[in-house]
Structure 1
Amino acid sequence: MQTLALVLATLLALLHVYILVLEMFFWTKPLGRRAFGLKADFAEQSKALAANQGLYNGFLAAGLAWGVIQGAAAGRPWLIFFAGCVVVAGVFGAATASRKILFVQALPGALTLAAALAA
């Protein structure tokens, strides 16, 4: 179960790095607009907010990566905390922005959290 928790946490961290890149660097580009279903004018008006969101996703990725680097035993509290943060962010995002976030962010976070708790 420890290996599973580390693998899931690594994948979750990579997902949040990808979200960071989309929000910080591609928000107004076709890739970012397609990923988030944005019109060009809205993307341009909201790019500062998106960059801020991206930075927060980077912090989630960094915390998860730190937990993975620490290893299964020492990193477990980090993985539990940051996977829990991902779940909360995903549920809030699903409730306030798009139900899709429940499956893209909260579900992978919940699986990682469950594996870390079981490890």
Structure 2
Amino acid sequence: MSTAAQILVALVAALHLYFLVLEMFLWERGPGRSLSGFDAEMARATASLAANQGLYNGFLAAGLVWGLIAGDPTGYRAQIFFLSCVTVAGLYGAATANRRILVAQALPGVIALAVVLAAG
């Protein structure tokens, strides 16, 4: 596996850890409210939904880290699977919630997936 592929997978994992923190712990504070565009009341009302989303983003990050530390072929296959999940989640989020998710989640996932497959 190329160094570039490993770096991109690590960056996508870090991005999803950041999403976890934003959605689970900072949703009702400045960074989370800035991300969502919600006022304090709506942020409070949706905090449990955001925390659930954050947990799922943590699972994506964990899977990508597993893919980085597991030996091949398992690590390679895990990276492909979890980067595909990241991409699908980003496409779905962009189609159903906010188009910014396309750039923030799907695009990094697609780029990392393409580099992992090319390095394969």
* Matched-pair identity in %: 57
Segments of structure 2 that go 5 or more residues without pairing to the other structure are none
- TM-score w.r.t. the length of structure 2 is 0.94
Higher relative CO (Cα under 8 Å, sequence separation at least 6) belongs to 1
Which residue does 2:81 correspond to in 1?
A: 81
Which residue does 2:48 correspond to in 1?
A: 48
Secondary structure at 1:46 match in 2:
helix
Q: Is the 8 A contact 1:6 1:72 kept in 2?
A: no
Q: Is the 8 A contact 1:24 1:51 kept in 2?
A: yes
Which residue does 1:10 correspond to in 2?
A: 10
Q: Is the 8 A contact 1:3 1:72 kept in 2?
A: no
Equivalents in 1 of 2:18, 2:108: separation in Å?
14
Whichever residue aligns with residue 10 of structure 2, its letter is: T
Which residue does 1:27 correspond to in 2?
A: 27
Which residue does 1:66 correspond to in 2?
A: 66
Segments of structure 1 that go 5 or more residues without pairing to the other structure are none
Whichever residue aligns with residue 18 of structure 1, its letter is: Y
- Corresponding pairs, count: 119
Equivalents in 1 of 2:43, 2:59: separation in Å?
23
RMSD of Structure 2 on Structure 1 (CA): 1.3
- TM-score w.r.t. the length of structure 1 is 0.95
